Amino acid sequence: MKLRIDKEDDALYFHLDDSAIVDSLEVAPGVVLDFNAAEQVVGIEMLNVSARSPDLNLNALQFETA
């Protein structure tokens, strides 16, 4: 899994595996799901991250497991 933050484009991308992306679907304004050939979700992109969460500190993200 990889999490990429693009401050210049104000976007956050969460990639679940290294599958090739064959299709994408915008499920809400600025929220895009990427699919592989088996129609599994392999990526999630959020655009306009700073507007969605103005208090978000992109330099200090937390990772939690249960």
Q: How many CA atoms lie within 13 A of 45 on its CB side?
A: 15
Residue 64 counted as domain residue: no
Number of domains in the chain: 1
Residue 56 counted as domain residue: no
Residue 60 counted as domain residue: no
Residue 16 counted as domain residue: yes
41/35 Cα distance (integer angstroms): 5
pLDDT in tens, 18-59: 999 999 999 999 999 999 999 999 999 999 988 887 777 767
Structure confidence at residue 58 (pLDDT)? 67
Residue 28 counted as domain residue: yes
**Full-model pTM:** 0.81
Residue type at position 8: E
Residue 58 counted as domain residue: no
Which residues have a Cβ under 8 Å from the Cβ of 37 and sit 6 or more positions away? 19, 20, 22
